[in-house]
């Protein structure tokens, strides 16, 4: 659908209008919002059917489904917004099984009074992210809550995908001796969000790394089909992600601080704010664990992809009945890299 239906009294005022309760009533105003904004932006053959669900063919194989709700504050931040983030986040959750993402659904909870211009900007960002990823949004839902009972807009996306034959990737498959690799610099997204939220300037623009990682994962799986673990280190950052994997697999981990890729400006910002970049969120990075003998081939494949150019071998899996994640520091000592306790930075994704 490239043109909205013209049966309404007047077009939706996307420049000056606001969301009101009628946009979630199920009546004419809601139909107009859906047709003139969502359907126009997300246009594809499944949405054009105008059903309450999407019917589609899927290739043979194991199906993966993931869902994620996005409540980021602020809604717009350096390098992205809640719209593209909601697409990237769910695509990445599907891709972390080694799966090929196929379709997305999107559910919106809108607050009465939210500017339609901002909503249109978010929807267009989602549409662009979806098209660039080649993963269409094929069904969705819209609800409106009263003024002061929401926070502008919350978005929940669900994705489905298919795992290629012969691929078996899971968080419980890390084994002592395995290599631990990260696809690039860590901590960018969390610091980018904080810089806007607190109106901080660090002398340089720190951008969110939000991105869809399924293309990188496909290249990795093609190079090394026997990857053991994939995980995107979002909330809780790299440190919490590695602790999750260590507990799932019943192993320990030893990191090397000098090998960790962290941007100078991110490290400086974290020092200024008293934060640890290992606990800062990422939205366009992944952690991969594989056999040590596969590490060089995997690093080479990752570094040929734009989203894996800064990939680095950061440590190895070890035997440890306590499932500790430890780090060899730059000064030759060791320290425990524990789970995140409390909430370092809420509302980041």
CATH number, domain containing residue 330: 3.90.650.10
**Rounded to 5 degrees, what are φ and ψ at 64?**
-115, 140
Same domain, 217 and 331: yes
Is 168 part of any domain?
A: no
Q: What is the pLDDT of residues 110-154, one digit of tens each?
A: 999 999 999 999 999 999 999 999 999 999 999 999 999 999 999
Q: What whole-number distance in Å separates Cα of residue 56 and Cα of residue 71? A: 29
Are 132 and 57 in a shared domain? yes
Looking at the structure, tell me whether residues 28 and 137 fall in a common domain. Answer: yes
Is 9 a member of any domain? no
212-243 pLDDT, tens digit per residue, is: 999 999 999 999 999 999 999 999 999 999 99
Q: Which pLDDT belongs to residue 344?
A: 75
Q: Is 210 found in the same domain as 99?
A: no
Cα 142 to Cα 29, 78, 152, 342: the distances in Å are 12, 27, 13, 32
Q: Are residues 199 and 255 in the same domain?
A: yes
Beta bridge partners of 253: 317, 325
User: Tell me, what's the pLDDT at 196?
Assistant: 87
Tell whether 317 and 210 lie within a shared domain: yes
Task: Give pLDDT < 50 ranges for the chain.
Answer: 1-2
| Domain identity same for 204 and 284 | yes
Instruction: State which residues form the domain around 119.
Output: 18-163
Q: Find out whether 153 and 173 touch, Cβ atoms under 8 Å.
A: no
Q: Does any domain span residue 3? A: no
What is the reported pLDDT for 11? 86
Query: How many whole angstroms separate alpha carbon 32 and alpha carbon 293?
Result: 57
pTM (2 decimals)? 0.95
Task: Report the domain count for the chain.
Answer: 2
Q: Which residues contact 8 (CB under 8 A, 6 or more apart)?
A: 28, 32, 36
Structure tokens at 281: 């969120």
Pair 216, 149 in one domain = no
* CA–CA separation, 240 and 65 (whole Å): 23
- Do 213 and 157 reside in the same domain of the chain? no
Same domain, 122 and 48: yes
Q: Is 321 exposed, middle or buried (0-12, 13-18, 19+ CB in 10 A)?
A: exposed
């Amino acid at each position: 659908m490239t043109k909205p239906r013209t049966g309404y009294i007047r077009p939706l005022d996307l420049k000056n209008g606001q969301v009101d309760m009628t946009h979630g009533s199920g009546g004419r105003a809601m139909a107009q919002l859906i047709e003139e904004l969502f359907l126009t932006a997300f246009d594809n053959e499944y949405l054009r059917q105008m059903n309450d669900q999407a019917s589609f063919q899927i290739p043979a194989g194991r199906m993966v489904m993931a869902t994620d709700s996005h409540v980021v504050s602020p809604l717009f931040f350096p390098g992205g917004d809640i719209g593209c983030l909601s697409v990237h986040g769910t695509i990445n959750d599907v891709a972390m099984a080694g799966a090929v993402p196929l379709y997305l659904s999107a559910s919106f909870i809108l607050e009465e009074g939210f500017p339609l211009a901002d909503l249109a900007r978010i929807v267009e960002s989602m549409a662009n992210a979806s098209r660039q990823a080649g993963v269409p949004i094929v069904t969705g839902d819209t609800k409106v809550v009263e003024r002061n009972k929401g926070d502008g807009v919350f978005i929940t996306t669900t994705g489905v995908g298919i795992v290629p034959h012969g691929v078996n990737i899971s968080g419980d498959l890390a084994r002592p001796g395995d290599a631990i690799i990260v696809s690039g610099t860590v901590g960018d997204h969390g610091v980018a969000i904080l810089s806007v939220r607190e109106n901080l300037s660090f002398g340089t623009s720190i951008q969110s790394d939000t991105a869809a990682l399924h293309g990188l994962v496909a290249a990795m799986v093609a190079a090394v089909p026997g990857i053991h673990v994939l995980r995107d280190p979002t909330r809780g950052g790299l440190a919490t992600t590695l602790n999750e994997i260590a507990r799932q697999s019943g192993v320990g981990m030893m990191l090397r601080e000098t090998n960790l890729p962290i941007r100078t400006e991110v490290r400086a910002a974290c020092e200024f704010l008293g934060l640890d970049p290992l606990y800062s969120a990422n939205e366009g990075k992944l952690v991969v664990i594989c056999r040590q003998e596969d590490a060089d081939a995997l690093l080479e494949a990752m570094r040929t992809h734009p989203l894996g150019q800064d990939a680095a071998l950061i440590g190895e899996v070890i035997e440890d009945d306590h499932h500790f994640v430890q780090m060899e520091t730059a000064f030759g000592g060791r320290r425990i890299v524990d789970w995140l306790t409390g909430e370092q930075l809420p509302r980041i994704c």
